[in-house]
Amino acid sequence: MKNTKEIFELALNAKFKTKECPQKKIYESIGYSLFAGGKRIRPILCMKMYEIFQNDDYDDVIDFAISLEMIHTYSLIHDDLPAMDNDDYRRGKLTNHKVFKEDIAILAGDGLLNLAYENMFEKILSSSEKNRDRYIRAAKIISDSAGIDGMIGGQVVDMLSERNDESRIELNKEILEYIHINKTSKLIEASLLSGAVIGGAIDEEIDIVREYGRIIGQLFQIRDDILDEIGDSEKLGKSVGIDKRNNKLTYISLYGLDKTIEIAEKLALDAKKCLQSLDRDISFFENMVDYLMTREK
Amino acid sequence: MKNTKEIFELALNAKFKTKECPQKKIYESIGYSLFAGGKRIRPILCMKMYEIFQNDDYDDVIDFAISLEMIHTYSLIHDDLPAMDNDDYRRGKLTNHKVFKEDIAILAGDGLLNLAYENMFEKILSSSEKNRDRYIRAAKIISDSAGIDGMIGGQVVDMLSERNDESRIELNKEILEYIHINKTSKLIEASLLSGAVIGGAIDEEIDIVREYGRIIGQLFQIRDDILDEIGDSEKLGKSVGIDKRNNKLTYISLYGLDKTIEIAEKLALDAKKCLQSLDRDISFFENMVDYLMTREK
């Protein structure tokens, strides 16, 4: 995983450079968030999934991995805005709008989202006939996962669940699940699926990857809830106990800590089991499950 | 033009419908701005340019026309936000964030931008081999024009030119031109170019279309400046005289009204002249120049 991450960091550094131009400020703002120490989980999942169907020469897949991280990063910049979660810190650093002001932060988010697609179109345009169809299918999967019936839709419902007027959406188990699946799982799922599609996976394999993605998306979210309850704010680079203070509906408030851990363990088993039918070297993805179960930040 | 606009409205209505779902609010918010009485100039330019190279059956080009209007609309929603231009009215109606609050307005903008690309990928994916390459080239042109070296970059410089701290960019003739070209002209140019590319224009023709686009983008901006000076706020659906009150650098403040009109007339002649070498029926685009010179809203 470390090696894959290093390859990704090098490629991202080569791809995105601040340049001298009247709008230099937005390059700085985008660079600030793009290189703020993210875990790079989505691009790594994409690259590693490509690898089990193809090989570890990531040239064919790296641009899509970069676009996935750009989409994830834009969503963080916009989520942190005063009109949304109003967060001052992210990963122990000031949030984008605290450094660059709100106008530039909004535009940096817009710019990153657009850049993700510029990047994909460039790759599609320059691709061989053989790869082209796979790229287009991968791009469609990614764009659908990020849209109003995906990540953005999840954030909308999350925002509305915190309102106190007639537009408020009351949280219940189904709505909580809806938020998690859309806000978090779908882009993670799309990361895995795009890697599989570009790697040449067939339909049956893609179904298995989708199921795995859906489960680890949930695991990711559950661990977030657990870390907010029992995590170390220094390691996390953000405050803990926020969900409880805000009376937020989480796995913990819904099931309690013990039962939540039990649910997570069951999901972890399911995730590993579903991949076994792939008949590929799935060790990385088994380890990923263990990592998601034990991560401290 | 009227007929083309009607065809576009029908297609947009068929494409975008509010549906029952937890995130219904974002559908309503997007629909509010998408159907707020826009002039549809960008999609009409795209469709009409396609027509002079192909025919007036717009099936092949309409999805790209829709995506262009989605990108334009998202940029208006974000430009109006309190952290940007802080406008309460647009086209005589309350701006998106005044109706749906800032969080949903930001997400509606994000959602529209993403939807524009979902839409293009869907069209590319379902296209015949013949059209596929044209679509990909058109998508690349559009995405580049909308990005940080295009429309977003122009908005960044515009925002920075209004700041009063060390990040302020001092306005001069070059910077003003930079803002206009990027913030306004590039997407208009991309509308024309994508129509030409999908219509099958060859490289020499594309160069001519690009030049025409660059010029009418400027005309569009100059007329905006003139309307802010001498326009009718009722027809415009927004206040006038704002530029003067804000000491904004415009064509008017730079050259005065008479000289500005003179510049516009010269550009109008250039635009018509450059199209004549196309050897196509360019009457619509000649009329477009006259319309841009005389429009009152």
Closest C-alpha among A22, A100, A88, A101 to residue B83? A101
Contact assignment for A178 to B148 by CB distance below 8 Å: no
Q: Report the alpha-carbon distance of residue B117 to residue A70 in Å, rounded.
A: 15
- B148 to chain A, any CB pair closer than 8 A? The answer is yes
Question: Region B27-42: what's the mean pLDDT?
Answer: 96
B115 at interface of A, judged by CB pairs closer than 8 A: yes
Nearest Cβ partner of B121 from A125, A132, A143? Answer: A143
Alpha helices in chain B (DSSP H): 2-15, 24-34, 41-53, 62-80, 96-125, 129-146, 151-160, 173-180, 186-199, 203-230, 233-236, 242-245, 251-255, 257-276, 283-294
A45 close to A192: Cβ distance less than 8 angstroms: yes
Judged by a CB distance cut-off of 8 A, whether residue A180 touches chain B is: no
pLDDT value of position A211: 95
Q: What SS3 state is found at B90?
A: strand
Give the mean pLDDT of A210-222. Answer: 93
The reply to whether residue B143 touches residue A153, judged by beta carbons under 8 angstroms, is no
With CB atoms and an 8 Å threshold, state whether B81 touches A106: yes
The model's confidence at residue A2, banded by pLDDT at 50, 70 and 90, is low
pLDDT at residue B2 in the model: 65
Contact state of B114 with A152 under an 8 Å Cβ cutoff = yes
Q: Which residues of B touch A78 (CB under 8 A)?
A: 106-107, 110
pTM of the model: 0.95
Tell me how close the Cα of A1 comes to any Cα of chain B, in angstroms: 30
The mean pLDDT value for B60-68 works out to 98
pLDDT of residue B248: 79
Contact (Cβ atoms closer than 8 angstroms) between residue B135 and residue B122: no
Query: Of all residues in chain A, what percent carry a pLDDT higher than 70?
Result: 99
Tell me if A23 and B157 make a contact (CB, 8 A cut-off): yes
ipTM of the complex: 0.95
Q: What pLDDT, on the 0 to 100 scale, is given for residue A1?
A: 59
Q: Which residues contact B231 (CB under 8 A, 6 or more apart)?
A: B240, B296, B297
pLDDT of the residue at A213:
95
| B84 and A CB contact within 8 Å | yes
Whether residues B153 and A23 touch (CB distance < 8 A) is answered with yes
Range scoring the smallest mean pLDDT among A211-215, A241-245, B191-195 = A241-245
What is the pLDDT, as a whole number, of residue B1?
59
> Which of A221-230, B31-40, B221-230, B248-257 shows the highest mean pLDDT?
B31-40
Position B237 pLDDT exceeds 80: no
pLDDT digits (tens, 9 = 90+) for A23-61: 999 999 999 999 999 999 999 999 999 999 999 999 999
Region B127-141: mean pLDDT is 94
Q: What is the mean pLDDT of chain B?
A: 94
Residues in chain A within 8 Å Cβ distance of B78: 106-107, 110
Please report the residues numbered 190 through 209 in chain B whose beta carbons come closer than 8 angstroms to any beta carbon of chain A. none
CA distances from A257 to A244, A263, B222 (A): 12, 10, 63
Chain B: closest CA distance from residue A248 (Å): 18
Q: Work out the percent of chain B whose per-residue pLDDT is above 70.
A: 99
What residue in B sits closest to A109 (Cα-Cα)?
B110
Q: pLDDT band for B160, please (50, 70, 90 cuts).
A: very high
The pLDDT of residue B112 = 98
Q: Is A176 on the interface with B (CB under 8 A)?
A: no
Residue A111 corresponds to which tokens in the numbers above? 């710019």
In sequence order, what DSSP letters do the residues of B48-64 get, joined into one string?
Answer: HHHHHHS-S-GGGTHHH
- Model confidence pLDDT, tens digit, residues A119-174: 999 999 999 888 999 999 999 999 999 999 999 999 999 999 989 999 999 989 99
All residues at 6 or more sequence positions from A74 whose CB lies less than 8 Å from its CB, including other chains? A108, A109, A110, A111, A112, A113, A116, B110
Q: Which residue of B has its CA nearest to A146?
A: B114
Using pLDDT thresholds of 50, 70 and 90, give the confidence band for residue B233.
confident
Residue numbers in B near A176 (CB within 8 A): none
More confident of the two residues A231 and A70: A70
Query: B129 to chain A, minimum CA–CA distance in Å?
Result: 10
DSSP three-state, residue B97? helix
B window 253-292, beta carbon within 8 A of A: none
Percent of chain A predicted with pLDDT > 90 = 84
Task: Tally A–B CB contacts below 8 A.
Answer: 148
Model confidence at B50, pLDDT cuts 50, 70, 90, reads very high
